Amino acid sequence: MSRKHLLRSERLLETVAECPRLVIVTHDNPDPDAISSGWAIATLLRERAGRRPRFLAGGEVLRAENRQMMELLDPPLELVDSFEPSGDTAVILVDCGVNGSNHLLFHSNADIVAVIDHHQQTGKCATRFKDIRPSVAACASIATQYLREQNIFPSTRLATALMYGIHTETAGFETSHSQTDRRALRWLTGFANPDWLAEIQNAPLPREYFTDLVLALQNTFLYDGAAFCLLPKVSGPEVVGEVADLIIRCKDVAYALCAGAWEADALVSIRTKPGTRSAARLAAETLRGLGHSGGHEHRAGGKIADLRTGQITESLEDELRQRWLNACNVERTRGTRLIAPRDIRQIL
* Per-residue confidence band for 334, with pLDDT thresholds at 50, 70 and 90: confident
Q: Is the pLDDT of residue 298 over 70?
A: yes
Span 22-43, average pLDDT? 96
Q: Is the pLDDT of residue 40 over 60?
A: yes
* Three-state SS at 22: strand
Nearest-angstrom CA–CA distance, 339 and 348: 14
Q: Kindly report the average pLDDT of the chain as a whole number.
A: 90
The full set of domains in the chain, from first to last, is 3-201 (3.90.1640.10), 207-342 (3.10.310.30)
Cα 38 off chain centre by: 13
pTM, two decimal places: 0.84
* Per-residue confidence band for 4, with pLDDT thresholds at 50, 70 and 90: low
The answer to whether the beta carbons of residues 116 and 139 sit under 8 Å apart is: yes
Helix (H) or strand (E) holding 223: strand 220-223
Cβ-Cβ contacts under 8 Å for 167 (sequence gap 6 or more): 32, 197
pLDDT digits (tens, 9 = 90+) for 211-265: 999 999 999 999 999 999 999 889 888 899 999 999 999 999 999 999 999 888 8
pLDDT at 173: 45
Nearest-angstrom CA–CA distance, 216 and 347: 19
Q: Is the pLDDT of residue 37 over 60?
A: yes
pLDDT at 140: 97
DSSP 58: -
Classify 65 in phi/psi space as left (phi over 0), alpha (psi -120 to 50) or beta: alpha
Per 3-state DSSP, the chain is made up of helix, strand and coil in percentages (nearest 5) of: 40, 20, 40
What percent of the chain has pLDDT above 90? 65
